[in-house]
Structures are given as C-alpha cells and as structure tokens.
Amino acid sequence: MDLGMKGRVAVVTGGGTGIGKAVAAEFAAEGATTYILGRRQEMLDEAAAEAKDKGVTLIPYALDVLDNAAVEKCVNDIVAAHGRVDIWVNNAGFGYAKMIEDVEEEDWFKTIDTNLKSTFFVTKTVARQMKKQKYGVFINAASMAVYMPLAGNSVYAAAKSGIASFTRTFAAELAPYGIRVLSYSPGMVATAMSKRHIARDYDKLVNTMALHRLGTPEDLAKPIVFFASEAAGYMTGIDIPLAGGRYCSQNNEDMWVKAGADAIVPEKVI
C-alpha cells in the first residue's frame, strides 16, 4: 500500500534511539522528508549514518524539547527549508522506578516536564504552522501505564495518562483545521533502555501478552506511519495500544499452556 508520504515532512522527537529511530526510518522509507530530534548531536548523527547505510535519509537536528524558544526556531527552520511541517511525533520521554516515599521534587518535575509539559508546549507551537496549512498529524507516545500502571512508577504513569488526555482534547480543538491527533501505547519493547529489565523478567513479561512475545521498535514503526497517513484519515482523538495483546485477557498464559505442542513458538526477543 502506498501511504502517500512522498512530499510530506515528518519530525520525530527522541529520534536518535529505540522506537523513535525506527519510526523515523519508516517514514523516510515511505518517502517522507524526515527529521530526527534529540539533545545529543552525536547520537543523532550516528542514527543518520546508520540509516544512510540502509539507503534511508534522516536529517538530524539537535533540540531540547523543554526549550520553547528552541522548539519555535526548529519549526521555523524546517518550514523555511520545506515550506511545511506535516507530521510531528512527540516521542521524547523519560521514566524511572521509585516508590512514592522515595520520589523527590526533582524526580517529579523531570518526569512531568520531559513527558507531559514538552508534549503540550511542542504541540502548541507546531499547531500554529499546521493551522496555516490546514493540515497536520500529531502522534503522541503514551504507555500501557495509561491502562494498567506499574506500582513503583506512579509519576511516569500520571504523565503518560496526561498525554492520553491531551490527545483527546487536542484532537477536538484542532479538528476544524484539518489536524488529527492520536497517541499510541507501547507494551514492553526491546530497546537498549529496557534490555536489563527484559533480561531479568522475560518470562513474566511475555506471559502477560496474547502474542507471547515482546515487541521490537520495528513492530511499532509501521502502524505508527500508517496512523499518520491518509489511509487512517478518519482516526483521531484516540490512544492505540501497540502491545501484543498485553492484558487483553486475565489468562493469556493459560491459552499457551492449553495449546501445548500446537502453539507457534514465538522468536525470543531480548
């Protein structure tokens, strides 16, 4: 299916690693002019070089999403170069695990600011340009913590729940201008950041998933690009779990036990 990305300009924050890098590469592979944003120029350059080796072009742009003036300059620079910004993926995020009594004020603000505040103010800035165009798509990174939070990770769950709520309100506010807003909630995805957690709790994690395997960044990239395309043009204001059927029933693991030798053995992802 041709997703109509040729001529589109896509921007992915947190685009130097993990899910963001895979999503950006998929946009570029579909023909979109694609920017990857992040704080560390060297990491962005490495991602762009890796993509180039695979025949894909990514444009690195160093940016701290918490710097509103820098975000505005970034948007202006992209518009000056290409005349528009069509798709913006708010993927930058931060999280940690701490019990409530151990959460310091600094922890609170770093988590809320990186995830929630940045999504609000970046969207506000980019929306001005998209309203002029009468076209745009925002894709926000939420989390399965929106549906079932992890004890010991309260501030992160609160921030991601806020993003899911922003997605609905922004969708309503921006719809009259031809702008759609969606969010996605990944399950446990195998990235450098999650590698230690996965190695420790692999069996426990996969047992919660109907597909009985962890996700990869590439598992998320294709549907996210689809959501941003006009093939999904009637979708807005919702969060889409991309989690392999995590918690779709209370007894996912029982079905694998019942299937026994007839079950397809999933590839182990670490």
Q: Which residues are identified as catalytic?
A: 156
At 200, is the pLDDT very low, low, confident or very high (cuts 50, 70, 90)?
Answer: confident
- Is the C-alpha dihedral spanning 187, 188, 194, 200 positive or negative? positive
Evaluate if residue 168 carries a pLDDT over 90.
Answer: yes
Q: Please state the domain count of the chain.
A: 1
| Residue 257 maps to a domain | no
| Residue 129 maps to a domain | yes
| Residue 199 maps to a domain | no
Evaluate if residue 192 carries a pLDDT over 80.
Answer: no
| Residue 4 maps to a domain | no
| Residue 256 maps to a domain | no
State pLDDT tens for residues 82-134: 999 999 999 998 888 899 999 999 999 999 999 999 999 999 999 999 999 99
Domain of 180: which CATH number?
3.40.50.720
- Mean pLDDT throughout 171-185? 98
Residue numbers of the domain that contains 66: 9-191+215-248
- Mean pLDDT throughout 188-202? 77
| Residue 255 maps to a domain | no
| Residue 259 maps to a domain | no
pLDDT, residue 116, reads 96
Evaluate if residue 227 carries a pLDDT over 70.
Answer: yes
